[in-house]
Amino acid sequence: MKIVILDASAANPGDLSWAELEKFGEVIAYDHTEPGDVVSRLEGARIAITNKTCFTEEIINSLPDLKYIGVLATGYNVVDLKAASSHGIVVTNVPEYATYATAQMAAALLLEMSCNVGVHNASVKDGDWIRSKQFCYWVKPLTELAGKNIAIVGMGKIGTRVKEICEALGMNVLKVPHTVRSDDEYKLSDVLGIADVITLHCPLTEDTKDLINKDVLSLCKDGVMIVNCARGPVVNEQDMADALRSGKVSGYGCDVISVEPMREDNPLKDAPNTYITPHIAWAPKETRARLITICASNIEAFLNGTPVNQVN
The pLDDT tens digits for 10-66 are 999 999 999 999 999 999 999 999 999 999 999 999 999 999 999 999 999 999 999
User: In terms of CATH, what superfamily is 2-97+285-303?
Assistant: NAD(P)-binding Rossmann-like Domain (3.40.50.720)
> Where does CATH 3.40.50.720 sit in the chain?
2-97+285-303, 99-276
Rounded mean pLDDT, 166-184: 89
Q: Among residues 83, 82, 78, 27, which one has the least CA distance to residue 53?
A: 78
pLDDT of residue 7: 97
List the catalytic residue out of 161, 279, 288, 290: 279
pLDDT of residue 35: 96
Residues 64 and 228: their CA atoms lie apart, in Å, by 40
What is the sign, positive or negative, of the torsion defined by CA atoms of 51, 57, 62, 65? positive
pLDDT of residue 140: 95
List the catalytic residue out of 58, 164, 260, 263: 260
Rounded mean pLDDT, 217-232: 97
Residue 231 is among the residues annotated as catalytic for this protein: yes
pLDDT of residue 184: 79
pLDDT of residue 261: 94
Residues 284 and 203: their CA atoms lie apart, in Å, by 22
| pLDDT confidence band for 305 (50 / 70 / 90) | very high
pLDDT of residue 44: 95
Question: 3-state class of 305 per DSSP?
Answer: coil
pLDDT of residue 182: 75
| pLDDT confidence band for 154 (50 / 70 / 90) | very high
pLDDT of residue 56: 97
pLDDT of residue 179: 78
Residues 78 and 57: their CA atoms lie apart, in Å, by 11
Cβ count near 306 (within 10 Å): 9
* Range from 62-76, 172-186, 229-243 carrying the lowest mean pLDDT: 172-186
Residue 279 is among the residues annotated as catalytic for this protein: yes
What is the percent of the chain where pLDDT is above 90?
Answer: 95
169 alpha carbon, distance to own chain's centre: 23
Q: Which fold has domain 99-276?
A: Rossmann fold (3.40.50)
Task: Judge whether residue 75 has pLDDT over 90.
Answer: no
List the catalytic residue out of 46, 161, 201, 231: 231
Rounded mean pLDDT, 264-288: 97
